[in-house]
Amino acid sequence: MTLWNGSYPFYPSANACFPFDTTRAVIITVFLSTLATFIIILPGIRGRGRLFWFLRLVMGLFVGAVVLTIQFTRDWETGWVQANTSYKSFSRAVVNVDIRLHIGLEGVNITLKGNPVNQINETINYNEYFSWSFGSNYDRSYSEGLEKGLPSPILYVAEKFTSQSPCAMHRQYRISGHYASATLWLAFCTWLISILLFSMSILLHGGYMLLLTATLILFSLIFFFTVRNTPKCPIQFGPVSLKTDYGESFWLTLVTGLLCLLLGLAVIILNSMEPEKLKLIFNLDKRKEAEEVWDKPCLLAERSCSVQDVLMVPPDELFEVTATHL
């Protein structure tokens, strides 16, 4: 085997990294477009109901967007290490690199970036994803990486998650990811049902569905938590090791689950103790709105006030009038 321009011929050039996740961008764009559409009609809502309606809209879209987005994120568990390590097989060249590991529900993402990026006449900037979701074969993806001649640090980390590895991390993460994903899809369905119930003014059952949504979200965290606390093989690079911890998606899911829990409990408690306030929040207390209308004075001298407006009075203010002919 011979060198060609200072590198082995079977190693490809570094993969170009796309600047953002397209799936996440599409989901966020859809929900932001929905929010913008409803904000346009916001001025048509009168009185204090405008603020309550806007808060319900924002919180509802936030929960739905988070539950749907975290299905496809790759930062449920993250780790980073800077190390001096060999770059390629059959080579004694040592490079200084940042190695990052991102674990999601459907696979693992490994990035390798040099310090500096250009070393040993090459651009060291790799981003490789290995999936274990349904319809994907992790071991086949790893074998394809071997055939392409990926850098040794990436192959070393990816090997820890293969089904043939003695670490047995592949089975743990794959099963926990599938269960967590399934519960999150159920949570998304219950969120849709709660939105439908609230729009139909069935407030108590809507609160129950929010509690069920919170329960499913928290169960997905428990599934991932169990695999996170099982013994793992060390990922060692000389004197340093790559250690992982909970990522942004995990904490965002926890916040969303607690938010749904608090909102569901608030609806149920208000429905049993202060039903009038709950109706006011959901713009169902028509009597309050009528009182606000009758509190406004109306004079015949004003052009915007008609005789019909003056003659219409609340039912509790009606009294008998006796008229006599002169």
| Average pLDDT value for the chain | 80
- pLDDT at residue 182, as a whole number: 94
Percent of the chain residues past pLDDT 90, beyond the cut: 34
Q: What is the pLDDT of residues 272-291, one digit of tens each?
A: 898 888 887 777 755 544 44
Res. 306: pLDDT tops 70: no
Res. 88: pLDDT tops 50: yes
How many CB atoms within 10 Å of residue 236? 12
Sign of CA dihedral 309, 311, 312, 318: positive
- pLDDT at residue 196, as a whole number: 92
Q: What is the pLDDT of residues 27-69, one digit of tens each?
A: 888 888 888 888 888 777 776 667 778 888 889 999 999 999 9
Give the Cα-Cα-Cα angle 126, 152, 163 (nearest 5 degrees): 95
What CA–CA distance (Å, rounded) separates 282 from 101?
45
- pLDDT at residue 325, as a whole number: 53
What CA–CA distance (Å, rounded) separates 46 from 43?
7
- pLDDT at residue 260, as a whole number: 94
173 within 8 A of 103, measured Cβ to Cβ: yes
207 within 8 A of 253, measured Cβ to Cβ: no
- Per-residue pLDDT band for 5 (boundaries 50, 70, 90) equals very low
DSSP-derived letter for residue 44 is: G
- The domain spans of the chain are 43-74+171-232+248-281, 77-167
Contacts 24+ apart (CB under 8 A), 258-263: 258/214, 259/59, 259/62, 259/63, 259/214, 260/63, 260/191, 260/210, 260/211, 260/213, 260/214, 260/217, 261/210, 261/211, 261/214, 261/218, 263/59, 263/207, 263/210
Res. 322: pLDDT tops 80: no
Res. 257: pLDDT tops 70: yes
